[in-house]
Amino acid sequence: MSIFYRRHIPLAITFICGLVMILQYFLVPGKITQPHEYAIQYYGVTLTNWANLLANFIVGFGLVNVTIIHSRRIMRAKSAFDRFCSAWLLFVMVVFLIVGSFGHSGLWYTPLAKNWEWLTLYVLNPLDATMYASLIFYMASGCYRVFRARNLETTLLLIVGFLSLMAAAPIFQVYAPWSRDFISWFANYPSIGAYRAIQMSAALGAILLGIRTLIGTETGYMGRRD
């Protein structure tokens, strides 16, 4: 495939689509009154719909990828447990696919709505909640390793971390109320200042990434230049 098809055409499409979205942001107000606003809005919404359609269509590729990987594992895995896990994953995936296709509330034909509700309520939600709850152990082990006074920075982190714990514990709120005030001040001023600096620089970085993408110099997502 020539470089024209592989790079120039995608870059041209990116530029045109990006420009339409920029025009939509700057020229289309909340209440549309002018013909040019209707036109730009129409193209912007059409492009967004295309992107959403493509994104949903590509879900099929994900399905194929998972099926290929786990089918191979069933055939080649040395351990029977690994084979069982992959087979179970494929089985559950098929069950969710069928029940979801005929039970999801967003669809028009939902004879399996009750089954979908049951799967969501008694399988998906508890599993999600369990994973989320396990986060506390990761945070605890991270804190244990980090809160050691090895140098100036880690010592400061240790002090502020300890004061944060003090501020959250009822016993310190009663007997050392100053700790809460100190941490509130720390969180509301120096900490927010640092956050805003990072946020601002990240926003500028994202804008420049957009500009690079539009003028065709950011090609990392398309691989290296030939």
Partner 1 sequence: MNSAGAILNVEQIVAGRYLDLALLILMWVGAILVMNALKRGWTLKWRKIAGLEALEEAVGRAAEMGKPVHFTPGYAGLTGATSPQVVAGLAVFAELARLCAKYDVEIICSVGDPTVLGVATELYKQAYTSEGKLDRAKPEHDIRYLSGSQFAFAAAVQGIAERERPAANVMVGPFWAESMMFAETFYRVGSIQVAGTARIYQIPFFAVVCDYVIIGDEMFAAGAYLSKEPSAMSSIFIQDLAKLFALALSIVGALILTFTGYKGIIDFLKL
Within positions 24 to 63, which residues make up the interface with partner 1, using CB under 8 A? 25-29, 34, 36, 51-52, 54-55, 58-62
Residue with tokens 């809160």, as numbered in its chain: 147
- The H-assigned helical ranges of 58-104 are 59-76, 80-101
Within positions 112 to 131, which residues make up the interface with partner 1, using CB under 8 A? 124, 127-128, 131
**How near is the Cβ of 94 to partner 1 at its closest, in Å?**
15
Which of 9, 68, 95, 169 touches partner 1 (CB under 8 A)?
68
The reply on whether position 207 binds partner 1 by CB under 8 A is: yes
144, amino acid identity: Y
- What does residue 34 show for φ and ψ, rounded to 5 degrees? -95, 150
The reply on whether position 139 binds partner 1 by CB under 8 A is: yes
Among 91, 62, 98, 59, CA closest to 74? 91
Q: How many CA atoms lie within 13 A of 16 on its CB side?
A: 8
What is the C-alpha R_g of the chain? 27
Token representation of residue 23: 């025009």
Residues that bind partner 1 (CB under 8 A): 22, 25-29, 34, 36, 51-52, 54-55, 58-62, 65-66, 68-69, 72, 124, 127-128, 131-132, 134-135, 138-139, 141-142, 145-146, 157, 195, 197-202, 204-213, 215, 217-225
